[in-house]
Amino acid sequence: MKLVTPALVSLSLLAAVQPAWAQDAASLLAETRKTALPVLPKVVQAMQTAVKEQGPVGAIPVCKEKAPQLLQEMRQQTGWDIRRVSLRTRNPATGTPDAWEARQLADFDIKAANGAKPEQIEVGEIITATDGKRSYRYMKALPVAEVCLTCHGPSDLLADDLKAALAKDYPLDRATGYAAGEVRGALTVTRPLLGP
């Protein structure tokens, strides 16, 4: 909980002084980054500590509970839809991308394969649906760091007790076989905008 508090405080301040969010692409991008991105290094750090102190099986709750809980808190603070998605999910119930997200994830993979730094890959777009409703959509690549390989690396390198725990909870697991520097998935944000 100690880890969570500063982010929550700054988010509530932001909400308090800024009742109307921006509506233009440049401000939307800046605002979304500023609000949503600080959580990312916190999760990676929590994961590094957990793997070191508790081992792979003991660290599962960081990806399973802590990260979703931090995103849930951000959803409540902002009213935005904020999730994690991947083209190769471990938990398809929560991590499956929609069509727009799948297209961006495929594009992220191409960019990373062509040498872009995964930690710099992102996209932001104002979308107008067929019913005229406008939204701002943003995605930021989640790079595969060394620590992620503990549970998302090649399956023959995963610890036996970890493999057993994953097999039990995730019969549809496709989130192994990654290498460092690839794109594991993305943080995805959808913000409703005012009408045209």
Q: Give the number of other CB atoms < 10 A from CB of residue 195.
A: 8
Q: Which is nearer to ligand HEC, 14 or 44 (CB)?
A: 44
Q: Which is nearer to ligand HEC, 137 or 185 (CB)?
A: 185
* Both structure tokens of 5: 């508090």
Site for ligand HEC in 35-64 (CB under 6 A): 44, 47, 51, 56, 59-60, 63-64
Closest-CA residue to 152 (of 72, 73, 95, 69): 95
Residue range at the interface with ligand HEC (CB under 6 A); choices 2-10, 24-32, 83-91, 116-124: 83-91
Site for ligand HEC in 119-158 (CB under 6 A): 142, 145, 147-148, 150-152
Measure the CA–CA gap between 87 and 127, rounded to whole angstroms.
21
What is the residue whose two structure tokens read 């019969």?
171
Measure the CA–CA gap between 82 and 73, rounded to whole angstroms.
10
Minimum CB separation of residue 184 from ligand HEC in Å reads 4
Minimum CB separation of residue 37 from ligand HEC in Å reads 14
Q: Is 153 exposed, middle or buried (0-12, 13-18, 19+ CB in 10 A)?
A: middle
**Residue of 28, 87, 175, 189 that binds ligand HEC (CB under 6 A):** 175
Q: Is 111 exposed, middle or buried (0-12, 13-18, 19+ CB in 10 A)?
A: middle
Q: Which is nearer to ligand HEC, 11 or 158 (CB)?
A: 158
Residues 62-81, one symbol each (x = binds ligand HEC by CB under 6 A, - = not), give: -xx-----------------
Q: Which is nearer to ligand HEC, 28 or 46 (CB)?
A: 46
Measure the CA–CA gap between 182 and 149, rounded to whole angstroms.
11
Interface residues toward ligand HEC, by CB under 6 A = 44, 47, 51, 56, 59-60, 63-64, 84, 86, 89-91, 94-95, 142, 145, 147-148, 150-152, 175, 184-185
